[in-house]
Amino acid sequence: MSAIGNLRKMSVHLDAEIQYTLNLSEDILMNDLIGNHIRLEWNGVINCSSCKKVTKKSFGQGFCYTCFANAPESAECIIRPELCRAHLGEGRDPEWEEKHHNKPHVVYLAASSAVKVGITRGDQVPTRWIDQGASSAIRLAETPNRYEAGRVEVALKEFFTDKTNWRKMLKNEIDEEIDLEEEKWALEEHLPADIIELFSENDDIIALNYPVVEYPEKVKSLSFDKTNIIEGKLMGIKGQYLLFENGEVLNIRKHTSYHVKFN
């Protein structure tokens, strides 16, 4: 089996075991390859994920510098949603902002080695949780747009981290004592009423089971910026990482737009 194309984050499907598809010139069902030797070879080309032009360096997640500085997909409110202006009809591209940011969003709590707070567009649940490698997640609040979700997230940063410890995540270091429902409703006595009004009544905790046969004890990150060929026995997939034997891992999303050949 072989395929070529520009890398982008793997497609995911929530099932008893999360299903991953690598989308190149052919769709590759990655779960079927766990336990096998795989090889990815970068030909030195990076095509900007927005304008598709060749760029010598990838900025953000696959942008050339011009698009990184100007494209709505890389605007500051991607990282800091409390700065979003879509609900006001403003932004780098108001039409794009209306379609993607002036839509219902979900603020969530995710569990791994600690409790993390995050936000995502409503139609990206549970994809966002899977991409971050959470062991489980719960809806905390539901908002009409990205700005309001960002406002809730800022209020919650006093209590929870908004970062994922990727090394602990890949080693599957999970705090089994975390009770997401309890963490969620314990916030009622700490937050202002206008924030509590946005809380979701949906207390379903979604457990996420990743296709991994062996987690690494130590993690070594691989990069196409250091070598054109990355290969080895695939031991599993978690988040957007391929886990190889000997603790080597490849972050597919970090290498968005790199043109590769897969075998």
Please give the structure tokens belonging to residue 47.
């095509």
What is the number of structural domains in the chain?
A: 2
- Asked whether residue 128 falls in the same domain as residue 194, the answer is yes
Nearest alpha-carbon partner for 42 in 250, 249, 240:
250
Using the 3D structure, point to which of 163, 178, 207 is the last residue of a domain.
207
Q: Residue 235 — pLDDT band, cuts 50, 70, 90?
A: very high
Which one-letter DSSP state was computed for residue 88? Answer: G
- Asked whether residue 158 falls in the same domain as residue 198, the answer is yes
The verdict on residue 60 lying in a domain is no
How far apart CA 81 and CA 79 sit, in angstroms, is 6
The verdict on residue 84 lying in a domain is no
Please give the structure tokens belonging to residue 161.
């981290």
Q: What is the pLDDT of residue 193?
A: 95
Q: What percent of the chain has pLDDT over 90?
A: 96
The vertex-2 CA angle with 34 and 232, nearest 5°, equals: 40
Residue type, 131: D
- Asked whether residue 157 falls in the same domain as residue 123, the answer is yes
Q: What is the pLDDT of residue 219?
A: 97
- Asked whether residue 235 falls in the same domain as residue 187, the answer is no
Domain residues for the domain of 34 are: 3-49+212-262
- Asked whether residue 167 falls in the same domain as residue 139, the answer is yes
How far apart CA 233 and CA 236 sit, in angstroms, is 9
- Asked whether residue 109 falls in the same domain as residue 42, the answer is no
Using the 3D structure, point to which of 181, 207, 233 is the last residue of a domain.
207
- pLDDT tens digit sequence for 7-37: 999 999 999 999 999 999 999 999 999 999 9
pLDDT at 155 over 90: yes
pLDDT at 254 over 90: yes
The verdict on residue 99 lying in a domain is no
- Would you call 133 helix, strand, or coil by DSSP? coil
Which residues touch 26 (CB under 8 Å, ≥6 apart)? 1, 3
- Asked whether residue 227 falls in the same domain as residue 142, the answer is no
Adjacency order of strands within the sheet including 248-251: 3-6, 258-262, 37-46, 229-238, 241-244, 248-251, 220-222
**Mean confidence (pLDDT) of the chain:** 96
- pLDDT tens digit sequence for 196-220: 999 999 999 999 999 999 999 999 9
Q: What is the pLDDT of residue 162?
A: 86
The verdict on residue 55 lying in a domain is no
The verdict on residue 193 lying in a domain is yes
Please tell me the pTM assigned to this model: 0.94
Q: What is the pLDDT of residue 1?
A: 79
- For residues 129 and 64, the answer to whether their CB atoms sit within 8 Å is no
Question: Partners of 230 in the beta sheet?
Answer: 40
Using the 3D structure, point to which of 207, 223, 249 is the last residue of a domain.
207
Please give the structure tokens belonging to residue 80.
């800091």
